[in-house]
Amino acid sequence: MNATSGRKSDSSASPWIISPVEDVLSIIGAPVLMAGLFLTAERFRHASALAIFVLGFMRTGHHLPGFLRTYTDRELFARYRLRFLVVPPLLFGVTLWLTVQDFHGLLLVSLLWGIWHSIMQLYGFGRIYDAKRGQVSAVVSWLDWLMCVSWMVTMLLRNPVWTEQVRALAARSGVGFVSLMLSAEGRLWIFSATAVITGLYAAYGIWLWKRGRAMSPLKCLMLGIALCLLYVGQLGLTADPLVSIALWEAFHDVQYFAIVWSYNKRRNGRQALNRIGGLLFRPQLAWVVVYVALSLFYGGVDFGAEEASQSSLGKILGALVVTSGFLHFYYDGFIWKIRQPKVRQDLGIGSEPGEPPGVDRAEPPVAAVSEQAAPRGWLDCLGQSALLCLPLMLLGGTEFYRSSVEFPVYRALAWLFPNSASSHAELGSVYEQQDRLPEAIGEYRSAVELDPVFPRGFFNLGRVLMRAGHPAEAADCFRRSIDVDPRIAQAYVHLALLLKQMGQHDAAVQVLKKGLQQAPDDQMLLLSLARLLLSSPQPTQENLLLAVSYAKRATGRTDAALKEQALETLALAYAEVGASEEATRTAQQLAAIYEARGDHDRARQILTRFSDLSVHRGQESR
């Protein structure tokens, strides 16, 4: 949610956005409540399941309240009718094309725009609290903006899951220079800027307070709680970086659910909504339950898209989910601006400049609003469509021609920034993709020499050394990567694979178990450990049962490709322990996935393989 500050506020306005209780529970205190919920879930080892629910249902589900705000408000819909009707199908067409082509730029834009949207929602709530108090200084507005942006970026740079996602997507999209921001030098500049901004914010806040023009204490409390949660969440509230991301997403979504419900309930009281909105946004608990249930049901589309990601239906659902997110971010950029009189009124901010307090601004006739918007309607609509679609298409083109331009670009970056570990690492990645292993090793060595605490650099160097036939050096690099950042699951997996190849099977098992201590629900670690136990030179019944347990846990995670591998491993583990019925049932479940995708040959191979294996095990038991 975005908000733009106004210039004056009625002194009689309530300082609360909804009410004292609702603000404390759903806006100001939402981060604390969500942190308590996740900590409780982690205590009972269900934090990852809760994270999957949040990221699988709430993340997309909270788009629906925004669409209800957009399409049930008669005055708002009349004002922007062409935008709301023309932009969605055009944007969906572009996202579907990019999804079918598997262009990663679409995911990069979605990730970065989602972060920006989250920042602007926090900023918007802060500006509303200040506007209710009458604090509408442009300086305060800019300082709020800088605080939200700098702290959000700072904390996200400390989350290895997020930084690795951005780095990988940027590289695959042909805009790998973005990773320079993620380098040690880039992080240092950003962290320093955050410290300076925080100092200025505190000093200016004290200066205003001494002159009787203090910022809203509710805003300061909300920002303080949210930013502290963000800080603590990235630095140890939970061992799983994915859970940290889900924690932030959860309280962001709860805030949005609350503000849309409250706002539309007020609009409904003025009979400003259409029939659907008038039916749904009634001040009764039953309708609150219906509202939340509909939102979660809508969010289930995202979960369905993940489950069917490899099929044609999955591509369509995936494009719908991405389009939904883009429209949510886009609409929120203009439907919440508190310079608009109706938005101010329904947020309880007070009268406009030059207008006496208490004036009842009646709803204008819908036809009049439509006529006012009509002269620039089509031009505005086409301009907005181009603003959204053309950058996506341009990014798709950049990715399409990436292979022909990325080598000279990264080589130039390494030459321009010889002291940047990230630029050398990116050039090393290009060499690695071209199978120029000696050059890749040289660039990765330069990267880790420049930045001795660059975990991804050590991991990449170990991976290339492993391919080049230097197992001892590769193992040292993987160990160094783990020492620097013990949360990189791939480092444990590669080190275990290397140790297994070197004949150190027990040591490999211990490495993976150590990794699971850091990330107990990581799908790759669970699957790798299950496979390693099954491949033991001298398998024991205890290890085989452990393999069943780890494989079963791996099947409950979200990555579709790894889930298929986990199901196959689980079926094999069941067969090894003599559980033929469970093995057959699991194989049938896996075959059904391949059948749904249209891969009938693979489905038959799975069924035949485990049917033969069950017969063989049965003969052995006799």
- DSSP states of 346-367 as a string? HHT--PPTTS-TT---PPPPHH
Contact 480, 511 (CB under 8 A): no
Give tens-digit pLDDT for 56-80. 788 999 999 999 999 999 999 988 8
pLDDT tier at 234 (50, 70, 90 boundaries)?
low
Does position 170 have pLDDT exceeding 80, yes or no? no
User: What pLDDT does 359 receive?
Assistant: 39
User: What pLDDT does 233 receive?
Assistant: 61
List of residues 6+ apart from 510 with CB closer than 8 A: none
Closest Cα to residue 64, out of 347, 283, 264, 272?
264
User: What pLDDT does 229 receive?
Assistant: 77
Closest Cα to residue 110, out of 366, 374, 310, 388?
388
Contact 216, 448 (CB under 8 A): no
Phi-psi region of 212 (alpha: psi -120 to 50; beta: other; left: phi over 0): left
User: What pLDDT does 357 receive?
Assistant: 39
Q: What is the C-alpha to C-alpha distance for residues 28 and 587, in angstroms, rounded to an integer?
A: 49
Q: Quick one: 560 exposed, middle or buried, by C-beta within 10 A (0-12, 13-18, 19+)?
A: middle
Higher pLDDT, 256 or 183: 256
User: What pLDDT does 158 receive?
Assistant: 76
User: What pLDDT does 108 receive?
Assistant: 84
Higher pLDDT, 486 or 42: 486
Q: What is the C-alpha to C-alpha distance for residues 552 and 549, in angstroms, rounded to an integer?
A: 5
Does position 370 have pLDDT exceeding 50, yes or no? no
DSSP state of 27: I
State the residue for tokens 């140890």. 236
User: What pLDDT does 305 receive?
Assistant: 67
The CA-to-CA distance between both ends of the chain, in Å, stands at 67
Give tens-digit pLDDT for 541-587. 888 888 888 888 888 755 666 778 888 888 888 888 888 888 888 88
User: What pLDDT does 364 receive?
Assistant: 46
> Per-residue pLDDT averaged across 476-495, rounded?
90
Give tens-digit pLDDT for 113-147. 988 999 999 999 999 999 888 888 889 999 999 99
Give, to the nearest 10 degrees, the angle between helix 455-467 and helix 437-450: 160
Contact 133, 348 (CB under 8 A): no
Give tens-digit pLDDT for 11-47. 456 889 988 999 999 999 888 888 888 888 877 777 7
DSSP state of 273: B
State the residue for tokens 């670690």. 525
Closest Cα to residue 293, out of 261, 267, 270?
261
Domain ranges, ordered by start, for the chain: 20-354+363-400
Closest Cα to residue 175, out of 395, 424, 440, 425?
395
> Per-residue pLDDT averaged across 492-506, rounded?
91
Q: What is the C-alpha to C-alpha distance for residues 70 and 68, in angstroms, rounded to an integer?
A: 5
Average pLDDT, the chain: 81
pLDDT tier at 491 (50, 70, 90 boundaries)?
very high
CA distances from 107 to 103, 187, 569 (A): 8, 23, 30
pLDDT tier at 237 (50, 70, 90 boundaries)?
low
pLDDT tier at 5 (50, 70, 90 boundaries)?
very low
DSSP state of 18: S
pLDDT tier at 6 (50, 70, 90 boundaries)?
very low
Q: What is the C-alpha to C-alpha distance for residues 585 and 555, in angstroms, rounded to an integer?
A: 14
pTM: 0.69
State the residue for tokens 């071209």. 434
Does position 239 have pLDDT exceeding 90, yes or no? no
Does position 410 have pLDDT exceeding 90, yes or no? no
Give tens-digit pLDDT for 195-218. 999 999 999 999 999 998 889 999
Q: What is the C-alpha to C-alpha distance for residues 351 and 35, in angstroms, rounded to an integer?
A: 37
Q: What is the C-alpha to C-alpha distance for residues 301 and 421, in angstroms, rounded to an integer?
A: 40
